[in-house]
Amino acid sequence: MNLKRSGALLGVVAVGAMTLAACGSDNNSSSTGVDASASNATCEGKSNLSAAGSSAQKNAMDQFVATYISVCQEKGKTVNVAYNPSGSGDGRTQFIAGQIDFAGSDSAIKDEQADKAKERCVGGEAWNLPLVFGPIAVAYNLDGVDKLVLNAEVLAKIFNGGITKWNDPAIAALNSGASLPDEKITTVIRSDSSGTTDNFQKYLDAASNGAWTSGAGSDFTGGVGEGAKGSAGVAQAVATAPGSITYVEKSFADQNKLSVAEINTGSEAVALTNDSAAKSIAGAKFKSDATGDLTLDLASIFKTNEAGAYPLVLATYSIVCSKGYDADTTAAVKSFLTSAANEGQANLAEQGYVPLPANVQDRLNASITAIS
């Protein structure tokens, strides 16, 4: 997914450029290709919203904001959403402190932070609303091996140092007939704190049948690997290092023309495509069946055995107050999220994200409507 760790200034420039493009529109079809008359966004409430957090969702948020600005312009309203991709942890901290209207986060707000958020959301609580999804590729550089199948158990052993050669019997068993070299495996990991690292490790923890024992977190816990900063850094490192492997958002693997492994889920090997990632998202379960907080049961994605479903997917949330905003902020937050969850999803695939499947979109719209 195109999760470039750009600074806030680049985000402002990108949104500003798209805003200027919107100013030239003179019909019901916005500059982003969206029919404003079909949008359910009311464009009511305060004109300027503020948000911060996940850099993973920055490019999606830029698109959401540009679309929202354009839709509201067609309805005669001037709006803006200033999103600072300062990192998930910072976004949650600012949200709790009441410094921003909503946060972006690669992990759900929970435990002590959720309790503190109740003080900020006077009379309400913090809801985690999954707005942006994107697949994580297992990208590799191995001469003569154009197709490679791995599974969670083998990946866990590669990234914790238990498997060190490409022709290891465990890899060979998943790749019958392939000519695997007697070559050292070089693992490349994120040197910076990252939601991608956290979700990759959560996947290994959930799906590797106990082969991964070091837990998860935004910092890599496996103990082996050469570090590189950012998604671009790990992708470029693998591109120049034969015998290497990494985990990285799909668009960075595509940009660097890296080979991407298929993942064996127990019943079949599944290639990474937008459709295969969407299948796993559509089958995701939530921690609760109630309308409101939509924290995902990530194991339902990571351990999927549905035919054709790719299991390694990053989910990022918008964290909002269920109630407790003033009336103008409530209206604006609901209006923006309504646009982002619907017309804002158009063309996300071009940026390496996976648009919301219909069943997830329906749950999300119901929760947005319930904000009061």
**Which residues belong to the annotated binding site for phosphate?**
54-56, 88, 106, 194-196
* Contact partners, residue 80, CB within 8 Å, separation at least 6: 15, 19, 47, 48, 49, 65, 69
What's the CA gap between 139 and 105, in Å, rounded? 24
Query: Which of 239, 236, 245 has the alpha carbon at shortest distance from 164?
Result: 245
Query: Which of 264, 10, 276 has the alpha carbon at shortest distance from 134?
Result: 276
Token duo for residue 294: 């939509």
Query: Which of 124, 112, 61, 93 has the alpha carbon at shortest distance from 318?
Result: 61
What's the CA gap between 120 and 42, in Å, rounded? 25
What is the β-pairing status of strands 262-264 and 149-151? Answer: parallel
Binding positions: 54-56, 88, 106, 194-196
What's the CA gap between 347 and 157, in Å, rounded? 37
